[in-house]
Amino acid sequence: MKDIKIGLAGFGTVGRGTWELLEKNKKKIERSSKIKISIVAIADPDKSKFESVDIPAACHVYSDAFQLLKDKSLDIVIELIGGETIAKEFVISAIRERKMVVTANKALLAKYGKQIFGEAERNGVAVFYEAAIAGGIPIVKVLKEGLLANEILWISGIINGTTNYILSEMEKRNLGFDEALNEAKLHGYAEQDPTLDIDGMDSAHKISLLASLAFGTSFDFGEIPVRGIRGIKERDVRFAKKFGYQIKLLAFAKLEKSLVEVSVEPTLIPVDLLMANVDGPMNAVSVEGNFVGHTLYYGQGAGSHPTASAVVADIIEACGTISTLNGMQQVKTNPEISDHPDYELMKKENVVSGHYMRLEVSDKSGVLSEITGILASQNVSVDRFFQEKSGDSNAEIILLTHMCAYGKIVEVVDMLINLENVKGKPVVFRVEEKA
């Protein structure tokens, strides 16, 4: 039985979950994988985290993660430090020490993945990151192995449980955004500072990694259009439902000839789709391949146990890639930087979809014809609409457009806000018929 020695950097929620999983399921893991996995060194600056854990005397405990790297016996290093600065330095140092790296750090890889994977390639090791994307959903392995024979055409996903919980509560209980956010905090689904979640950045980190894996090229993270859920009102959820749609924060990675759309934004999808019925803090990822067709993956996207499950799965995969050749570790090529096609990132204004638009207007005759006239001038056709009273003298017009480029919608909005009878800036969300 192969004996693999692990160094664990970071003993927070996921680090502790990884420790517990390896302890509880040790026999099962060894029996199934034919690998003996031992954590022989742990590092965390907060020593109080170890007080309720029975750590064997043979396992070294450090306050400085870099101390781990002095142990030449380690085969694999797990980075669960979080953040970007220290974590980046640690991961690159581990790679240069020719250690396999397992990480759950999505922000690090989204921003510096090209550099990190390149360093891994030069040093004959690999970086594994299943836990960085969708917790207990093995979506990385799906793309690397299960669907490897397919050309990936479409990925969409609910890959942030916080935002999905908020939108689910807004829909089910008719809550406003702030109320639903407070509920999420109360139940532990949102941090006290939920900015990364509700502004869509967490989802953007994850979809950029999936896009890189699916299409074999890297994208400048700063160029990915991202929109969160702050602007969604309870009435938008209600109006969407009236049209037969549900609002979800979706991340997209879509191939259109030589262009790839990578984006995150609130999107209306039909209520009869499986994706529309993913409730609460759950995640789901939809993948379409040119031969397999549509596939869907569902599960818990966060939490100590689901994420630990992904971490340990990566450890086992890392073990399987290690072979010995003249005393040196050799691994398969990191797929992210292999001989891949050169796709360009699609500009947001060229993305084609349907659109939901809500306008507050003066409740008087001729206003609707003004609005439809502007839409017609930009060749934007209306699929459906209705009007609802808003106060004594105003009304809200809610409409769905047929498919058109987002750039056309921007032009329409710029023209509408100049109309005397339009009150404020129209609210616009994407509409997709599949997800």
Query: Any idea which residues carry the catalytic annotation?
Result: 206
| CB half-sphere exposure, 124, CA atoms < 13 A | 11
Compute CA distances 260 → 88, 109, 113, 213, whole Å. Answer: 27, 19, 18, 12
Q: What's the burial of 215, exposed, middle or buried (CB within 10 Å: 0-12/13-18/19+)?
A: buried
Largest CA distance in the chain: 84
CA distance 236 to 332: 49
For 215-229, the three-class secondary structure string (H helix, E strand, C coil) is HCCCCCHHHCCECCC
Q: Does residue 92 contact residue 117 with C-beta atoms inside 8 Å?
A: no
Q: Does residue 48 contact residue 81 with C-beta atoms inside 8 Å?
A: no
Helix (H, G, I), strand (E, B) or coil at 268: strand
Q: Does residue 299 contact residue 76 with C-beta atoms inside 8 Å?
A: no
CA distance 28 to 43: 26
Q: Does residue 203 contact residue 251 with C-beta atoms inside 8 Å?
A: yes
Q: Does residue 126 contact residue 334 with C-beta atoms inside 8 Å?
A: yes
Helix (H, G, I), strand (E, B) or coil at 4: strand
CA distance 297 to 317: 20
Compute CA distances 282 → 5, 131, 140, 277, 369, whole Å. Answer: 33, 15, 17, 10, 43
